[in-house]
Copies of this chain bind each other. A is one copy, B any other.
Amino acid sequence: MSAPSPEGPQQVRIALGDRSYDILIGAGLMDRPATWDGLPQAAAALIVSNTTVAPLYAARLRAALAPRYRSVHEVVLPDGEDHKDWQTLNRVFDALLARGCDRKTVLFALGGGVVGDMTGFAAASYMRGVPFVQVPTTLLAQVDSSVGGKTAINHPLGKNMIGAFYQPARVVCDLDTLATLPPRELSAGLAEVIKYGPIADMDFLAWIEANIDALMARDPQALAHAVRRSCEIKAEVVGQDERESGLRAILNFGHTFGHAIEAGLGYGQWLHGEAVGCGMVMALQLSRRLGLVDEAFVQRVTALVARAGLPTVGPALGADRYLELMRVDKKAEAGEIRFVVIERPGQAGVRGAPDALVRQVLADCTR
């Protein structure tokens, strides 16, 4: 565990009126008492974690919360995207009700995107809403899923189909937790970091290219900058469009193809970030075929995706299956698939595309 940096944690504000909150980013945040100041008061807290993360960090979080809540309960869920379902979610409700937790109880999501999404939806739904705090322990969760209030579980017919927009009271990104992240998950997180370049910030894309080796080597300064800049971009987008009626959809760059890969292979085969990395390559190829960007730009981003240790070629599910899976994407409208494309480097948009063009992309990008 590294000492808190002398300048203290960095802070990014999500401005959403009375639902505004801060993202704290820094090393050693969990053990720093000020991290937990000013959260909603309650008799009880419930830490929700999984079998991988709980043994590493739950005791630290519990120690940090013990002075602040009369009871600190804990529920440990099985790890993995294939457990992001109602049965597993219900274990959180069982724990809350069995312990007599009232509607002021604060939930703490300690883990990656799956734990965060499920804890958030549990908090949104328990007694019609209790406060919750995100304590993301993966790069992907720190730069993307813990920020912005999207919560959900999967349904056998589609990913994240059942959920809520429900904002946390705070997001605590303790960079120390990235030290224990398996290499595959580090890469998966980098997919969402890279995403912010083509859709919003070409300077950031250039910075990632220059620092990809440092990021892969988990250089703390590089990671801190990547997390902060990612959160800043996400904060700006979410602040303008909390419920994804327009702009916010650009954050799903790579996700339409990516969700099809995840669902087609069965959740948990590829990590979400791996599917998004490959999905970005597909979405870029589609953007090129729509005449929006040139091949050089596609290759530039594809090379970066590869350097981040991510797949750039999708599984051969067959174009029909891809199209079928993408038609149940949440962005689809009246059966038309809506793709997030790069309109020009640094700017994304949402468009339909002829099936024939999508089939060409899939023929090029799957094997």
State the A residues within 8 Å of B (CB). Answer: 43-44, 70, 86, 90, 93-94, 97-98, 100, 102-104, 124-129, 150-152, 155, 157-158, 160-165, 243-244, 327-328, 330, 332-335
Contact A161 B126 (CB under 8 A): yes
Contact B243 A162 (CB under 8 A): no
The residues of B that contact A332 with a CB separation of less than 8 Å are 100, 102
Instruction: Identify the closest chain B residue to A151 (Cβ).
Output: B128
Contact A97 B158 (CB under 8 A): yes
The residues of B that contact A333 with a CB separation of less than 8 Å are 43, 102-104
Q: How many copies of the polypeptide does the oligomer hold?
A: 2
Task: Give the secondary structure class of A's interface.
Answer: mixed
Closest approach, in angstroms, between the C-beta of A96 and any C-beta of chain B?
Answer: 8
Task: Name A152's contact: one of B124, B128, B330 (CB within 8 Å).
Answer: B128
Closest approach, in angstroms, between the C-beta of A157 and any C-beta of chain B?
Answer: 4
Contact B163 A128 (CB under 8 A): yes
**Cα–Cα distance between A98 and B124 once the two chains are bound (Å):** 26
Contact A330 B127 (CB under 8 A): yes
Instruction: Identify the closest chain B residue to A332 (Cβ).
Output: B102
A-B contact pairs, 18 of them (CB 8 A): A43-B334, A43-B335, A44-B334, A70-B334, A93-B161, A97-B155, A97-B161, A100-B335, A104-B333, A125-B125, A126-B161, A127-B161, A127-B163, A128-B152, A128-B243, A129-B164, A129-B243, A164-B164
Closest approach, in angstroms, between the C-beta of A184 and any C-beta of chain B?
Answer: 28
**Cα–Cα distance between A163 and B244 once the two chains are bound (Å):** 22
Instruction: Identify the closest chain B residue to A152 (Cβ).
Output: B128
The residues of B that contact A155 with a CB separation of less than 8 Å are 93-94, 97
Ranked 10 nearest A-B pairs via Cβ: A97-B157, A43-B334, A127-B330, A128-B163, A125-B162, A102-B333, A128-B165, A103-B330, A102-B332, A128-B164
Contact A126 B162 (CB under 8 A): yes
**Cα–Cα distance between A98 and B324 once the two chains are bound (Å):** 12
Task: Name A97's contact: one of B86, B152, B163, B328 (CB within 8 Å).
Answer: B328
Given the known interface contacts A333-B104, A334-B102, the answer about A165 and B129 at a Cβ–Cβ threshold of 8 Å is: yes
Task: Name A128's contact: one of B70, B102, B129, B150 (CB within 8 Å).
Answer: B150
Instruction: Identify the closest chain B residue to A97 (Cβ).
Output: B157
**Cα–Cα distance between A103 and B103 once the two chains are bound (Å):** 29
Closest approach, in angstroms, between the C-beta of A216 and any C-beta of chain B?
Answer: 34
Name which of A102, A163, A244, A330 has the most chain B CB atoms within 10 A of its CB.
Answer: A102
Closest approach, in angstroms, between the C-beta of A93 and any C-beta of chain B?
Answer: 6
Instruction: Identify the closest chain B residue to A70 (Cβ).
Output: B334
Closest approach, in angstroms, between the C-beta of A281 and any C-beta of chain B?
Answer: 26
Task: Name A125's contact: one of B70, B97, B163, B330 (CB within 8 Å).
Answer: B163
Contact B328 A100 (CB under 8 A): yes
Closest approach, in angstroms, between the C-beta of A160 and any C-beta of chain B?
Answer: 8
**Cα–Cα distance between A163 and B123 once the two chains are bound (Å):** 10
Contact B124 A164 (CB under 8 A): yes
Contact B100 A162 (CB under 8 A): no
Apart from A97-B161, A127-B330, list 4 A-B contacts with CB within 8 A.
A86-B90, A124-B164, A128-B160, A129-B164
The residues of B that contact A327 with a CB separation of less than 8 Å are 100
Name which of A93, A97, A128 has the most chain B CB atoms within 10 A of its CB.
Answer: A128
The residues of B that contact A98 with a CB separation of less than 8 Å are 157
Closest approach, in angstroms, between the C-beta of A107 and any C-beta of chain B?
Answer: 14
Name which of A124, A160, A244, A335 has the most chain B CB atoms within 10 A of its CB.
Answer: A124
